[in-house]
Structure 1
């Protein structure tokens, strides 16, 4: 079983480096996304986000083909689009394509103009992503699973439903990671009172 687990992990890593659009998985824990058990979204919203990513990706490939190399990551119906486009026209078209997907409330278009990123660049992004996640896990004052981490060309995008305190702390941590060009905050800010409600144990019936 251990050999099979290592084989699957290696296969996922290879897929991540080849496509630049899959979350890194280590030891069964999702690094690119969040744990379902501690996710601050409802289960329905989590499903909607997954559907948004699939539909948006399919529509981009269908309408723009080789003109773009883009990845869509959705958190609480906010769709973050990263990658590269060959022209400004193709980049601009992404707003309408992704924004037209059902349940998308907002599009954050962070696509750059230029050729598709290299294998070495995507490999570096995976390493940075893992480092950021590890540092968030080490931070005793944060719940690491509350953060959704996307890395593209050395730029770190942080998403999640967090308080101002959590957002500032996570941003500070990410900025200290070697190889990070910039940190983009794409959070949905909640109050400390709302955070306290998330922290309460479920009522036993």
Structure 2
């Protein structure tokens, strides 16, 4: 029975990766997949590059710190418009504070939003469920009928059923996105981290 559970988790993970747009990275079309998203992104090319660099630098900084290293894999780092969002579940508040401090001092980081929670790291089943929520939320955003709105402009992060929405949007776009995502099955709460134009 445990092996059946592992197979189901693997299937859910693969489906979620395909639906969230991570498939191009896995199957070799990373450049094409990233190019399509960048075409509609309201961030300029330098900011897109900075966000990628910040994520790599933050992940490296967490793994190099002896006080964080053992829990670094439980911390998810997302950078959008040079704002860093930390999500995941870790064992101690001291680790969260240390992670925020390390990342705050990285080059080009404007601010750090600490949404880490405390407890045992999320298991594979919960992580797969979060990926599935992201895929359903992305699909829900494609149903928004506002002029000039493109679903790829919204960055969606999910952790333990809590969904974080990031992006450079207009007020109506942000409101519509929040409303759509709020009703996606499995979403416990939506956190608005949009920057409005």
Q: Same fold (TM over 0.5)?
A: yes
Instruction: Provide the rounded CA distance (Å) in 2 between the counterparts of 1:24 and 1:44.
Output: 22
Residues 1:153 and 2:160 aligned together: yes
Seen in structure 2, the aligned counterparts of structure 1 residues 107 and 131 have a Cα distance that, compared at 3 Å, is same
Instruction: Provide the rounded CA distance (Å) in 1 between the counterparts of 2:58 and 2:21.
Output: 21
Instruction: Provide the rounded CA distance (Å) in 1 between the counterparts of 2:45 and 2:79.
Output: 14
Q: In 1, are the aligned partners of 2:144 and 2:176 still within 8 Å (CA)?
A: no
Seen in structure 2, the aligned counterparts of structure 1 residues 30 and 170 have a Cα distance that, compared at 3 Å, is farther
Q: In 2, are the aligned partners of 1:48 and 1:103 still within 8 Å (CA)?
A: yes
Residues 1:25 and 2:12 aligned together: no
TM-score by length of 2: 0.80
TM-score by length of 1: 0.77
Q: How far does the alpha carbon of each residue in 1:49-104 deviate from its partner, in whole angstroms, 9 at most, with x for none?
A: 00000000111111111134101100000000111221111111121111111100
Instruction: Provide the rounded CA distance (Å) in 2 between the counterparts of 1:41 and 1:88.
Output: 33
Residues 1:176 and 2:180 aligned together: no
Seen in structure 2, the aligned counterparts of structure 1 residues 89 and 110 have a Cα distance that, compared at 3 Å, is same
Q: Which residue of 2 aligns with 1:139?
A: 144
Structure 2 unmatched ranges of 5 or more? 1-9
Q: Within 5 A, what are the aligned runs for 1:15-164?
A: 24-26=21-23, 35-63=37-65, 64-68=68-72, 69-141=74-146, 142-164=149-171
Aligned length: 172
Deviation at 1:25, TM superposition (A): 2.1
Instruction: Provide the rounded CA distance (Å) in 2 between the counterparts of 1:90 and 1:26.
Output: 32
Seen in structure 2, the aligned counterparts of structure 1 residues 173 and 104 have a Cα distance that, compared at 3 Å, is same
Deviation at 1:26, TM superposition (A): 4.6
Structure 1 unmatched ranges of 5 or more? 1-9, 18-22, 191-205
Instruction: Provide the rounded CA distance (Å) in 2 between the counterparts of 1:105 and 1:95.
Output: 12
